Amino acid sequence: MPNPLWEEQEDILVEDDIGSDLPAHIIVFNDDVNSFDWVIHCFMEILKHTHEQAEQLSIIIHFKGKATVKTGSKKELVPLCEALLDRGLSAVLED
Domain ranges of the chain: 24-94
Q: 18: pLDDT confidence band, cut at 50, 70 and 90?
A: very low
Backbone angles phi, psi at 9, to 5 degrees: -100, 145
Dump pLDDT digits (tens) for 38-80: 999 999 999 999 999 999 999 999 999 999 999 999 999 999 9
Distance, in Å, from the CA atom of 77 to the CA atom of 93, rounded to the nearest integer, reads 8
Q: 12: pLDDT confidence band, cut at 50, 70 and 90?
A: low
Is the CATH number 3.30.1390.10 carried by domain 24-94? yes
Chain centre distance of CA 39: 17
Give pTM, 2 decimals: 0.78
Residue 68 bridge partners (DSSP):
27
